[in-house]
Amino acid sequence: MNQLDALKQYTTVVADTGDFKQLAQFQPQDATTNPSLILKAVQKPEYAPLLKDCVTRWHGRAIDELMDRLIVRFGCEILSIIPGRVSTEVDARLSFDTAATVARAERIVELYQAEGLHIDRVLIKIAATWEGIQAARQLEQRGIHTNLTLLFSFAQAVACGQAKVQLISPFVGRIYDWYKKQAGANWDEAAMAGANDPGVQSVRAIYNHYKHFGIGTEVMGASFRNTGQIVALAGCDLLTIAPELLAQLAASDAPVARVLDPEAARRVALQPVQYDEAGFRYALNADAMATEKLAEGIRAFAADAAKLEQLMQAAA
């Protein structure tokens, strides 16, 4: 049994890509996209017609609507291949506007429904700012399920659990990147691998908290740099993995053991944690890594959304 098949015994495997032509070979349950992945895909010759078709078909509509129609088109193509859910992201430029995030999310869902897809097959991705989490709370109450992304801190995870969001995506690789950069020449790759990886440790703490206190929000590790990080989180509810790393897992027959386990989490001695807005903002501010990576992530996704708009305007 290869590592990918072994991992699927303990964890729901999700493909992290906009390149839906790669999906079938790995047989993931779900798939995730983001503006950067969609931008990357539409610049490939085989996907350029999707962008052109969207612009031609909906010529004259506002650019934000064209953007939503394009990302939904990709989502529909992905859902024709996978059995589960696709995550589709709200424009990162709305990350600090609760009302605008809710309105945009509702439009995305309506576009999927117009294509005959059930609401339960879509997760709306929203940055895990305080405003984004409150938007997700409202959407969940309306039956629209959410995936809170750009999640780097325990405080973000706790607030998401309180809001009863469907799923969170803690970013393993970007946490690892920050600590490695901070350490500079003192970084010991071997000593900080596997269970000692700071990104892996972050997800494990969140997973244990959720399972210990019976919080129903799903934990989906994301943003991996190597297969060692993935194997160290075997047993996590879901793991979203780029095609390159899926291929590496499929090519390896090294053993994969379950690491995260809900029963074990329930036996861990933990104290309950809750946050109001002031407490959340203070806890996030106290975590330099999470503060920096959240801001950086929003800027990067916003920049790629703007580039995608420029491509659409050029194709008009």
Q: Are 127 and 169 in contact (CB under 8 A)?
A: no
Q: Identify the DSSP state of 129.
A: S
| Count of beta carbons in the 10 Å neighbourhood of residue 292 | 13
Closest CA to 314 of 69, 8, 47, 63: 63
What are the φ and ψ backbone dihedral angles of 151, each rounded to 5 degrees? -105, 120
**Which are the contacts of 299, defined by CB distance < 8 A and separation ≥ 6?**
none
Catalytic option among 21, 40, 125, 211: 125
Gyration radius of the chain's alpha carbons: 19
Structure tokens at 176: 């690892």
8 noted as active-site residue? no
Q: Give the burial class of 72: count Cβ atoms within 10 A of its Cβ; 0-12 exposed, 13-18 middle, 19 or more buried.
A: buried
Residues marked active site are found at 125
